[in-house]
Amino acid sequence: MCDKGIDLTGIGEVAKAIPEQSWNQLVSTACEAFQKTLAPITELTGGLGRLISAKFDRLIDAEKILAADTMQRASEKVARANKRPSGNAKPGVITSVITESSKQTDINLRDLWANLLAQELIDGSVHPEVVSILARISSEDAQTLARIAEQNPYSEYVTSFSSSLFGMQSDNETSMSASMFGLKVSARKRSRFSFSEKFLESLNLIEREGRSWILTPIGEGFIASVSEPEEDEFV
């Protein structure tokens, strides 16, 4: 059972209905899967492996399931790329990924965390600021960034990044309905820019060029770090 991915779709809705014994088994399976995927890291750098294990042990059960899923996904991505962890991974990046991904119930964003973790395990190239940025963006922000990246002819990582996301839509029409002090207010307007676009601009991931959004160098670097590692053709 440890060899298979952990399906977390809808776990928030069904967790309360799971019998305690079955829940304990699910948590146990997650822990076993985590330790199995951690083993190659421990072989290379025992100290880092123990640090990651200690961070994982401090998580609550539901967080352990999410973190284990992220670690397992990352391990599978490294294997698909025909690459082996270099042992140069930065402890701060790895532990931050464990912490942040353990709170991420959105399966698409958690896949981006797994991509980031895989990239860091392979060559330790992920800048710590990438972790901070990914922790701040929503699924809608990621979809907006993917849409803009697809329109950027200079991006090498568009296909891999976009494949982790789906349902991308661009709709600047927003409807608002609110109840305040007993008064219902509703409005419909067309914004010039979406909140996600302006937020991504504030993170310096995108910028305006004429009438279009384009990726900044930081945006390019961010996408490179959260894209699935490419297969090494020479291995």
Q: How confident is the model at residue 30 (pLDDT cuts 50, 70, 90)?
A: confident
In the chain, where the domains are located: 11-136, 139-225
- Mean pLDDT of all residues in the chain? 78
Q: Say what the pLDDT of residue 180 is.
A: 37
- H/E stretch holding 185 reads strand 183-190
Q: Say what the pLDDT of residue 171 is.
A: 44
Is pLDDT of 184 > 50? no
Six token digits for residue 213: 């959004």
- H/E stretch holding 222 reads helix 217-225
Q: Give mean pLDDT, residues 92-115.
A: 92
Q: Say what the pLDDT of residue 24 is.
A: 75
* pTM reported for the whole predicted model: 0.75
DSSP 8-state class, residue 192? S
Task: Name which of 7, 10, 9 is nearest 26 in CA terms.
Answer: 7
Q: Say what the pLDDT of residue 173 is.
A: 39
Q: Say what the pLDDT of residue 156 is.
A: 58
CA 215, 131, 102 angle in degrees (round to 5)?
Answer: 130
pLDDT digits (tens, 9 = 90+) for 36-84: 877 767 666 667 778 888 888 899 988 988 999 998 899 889 889 988 7
The structure tokens 């090494």 sit at 232
Six token digits for residue 38: 């951690």
The length of the chain in residues reads: 235
CB neighbourhood size of 207 (10 A): 15
Q: How confident is the model at residue 182 (pLDDT cuts 50, 70, 90)?
A: very low
Q: How confident is the model at residue 185 (pLDDT cuts 50, 70, 90)?
A: very low
Six token digits for residue 5: 């991915």
